């Protein structure tokens, strides 16, 4: 039997993944039947619908393994790990802030489209977050 904290965690995850799936279905309907951003909507829907459904299935499977679920909840609420996640986000934010400031300063010399710049920025964000997380785990 799951504890109150674990049940609350599972219910919250189910709600989040349900909302993601609902967004995907809504976007698919808007793009397909109402011709709103017809080219972009299928991509968004194909990202949201499987993420929501698979997330709900995995979260539902957590109910069948209460020991594993309790361990996950304990790890999520452990103070040391929360501090590491906070420090990781903090350092990643300031690194990205500096990155965007430097890009702004050199914007007249950057000869790529805005959409390509955004793609590069998202990739840089993921790399910075991963490196920051590794560094913070080694420091703490």
Burial 100-139 (b: 16+ CB within 10 A, else e): eeeeeeeeeeeeeeeeeeeeeeeeeeeebbeebbeebeee
Residue bearing tokens 């909507």: 41
Predicted confidence (pLDDT) per residue in 13-45, tens digit: 999 999 999 999 999 999 888 888 878 888 889
140 pLDDT higher than 80: no
């Amino acid at each position: 039997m799951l504890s109150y904290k674990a049940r609350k965690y599972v219910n919250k995850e189910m709600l989040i993944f349900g909302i993601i799936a609902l967004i995907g279905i809504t976007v698919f309907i808007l793009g397909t039947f109402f011709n709103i951003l017809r080219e972009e909507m299928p991509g968004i829907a194909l990202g949201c619908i499987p993420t929501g459904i698979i997330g709900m299935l995995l979260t539902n499977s957590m109910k069948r393994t209460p020991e594993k679920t309790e361990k996950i909840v304990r790890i999520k609420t452990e103070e040391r790990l929360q501090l590491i996640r906070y420090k990781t986000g903090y350092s990643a934010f300031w690194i990205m802030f500096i990155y965007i400031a430097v890009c702004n300063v050199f914007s007249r010399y950057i000869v790529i489209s805005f959409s390509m710049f955004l793609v590069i920025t998202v990739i840089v964000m993921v790399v910075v977050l991963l490196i920051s997380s590794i560094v913070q785990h080694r420091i703490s």
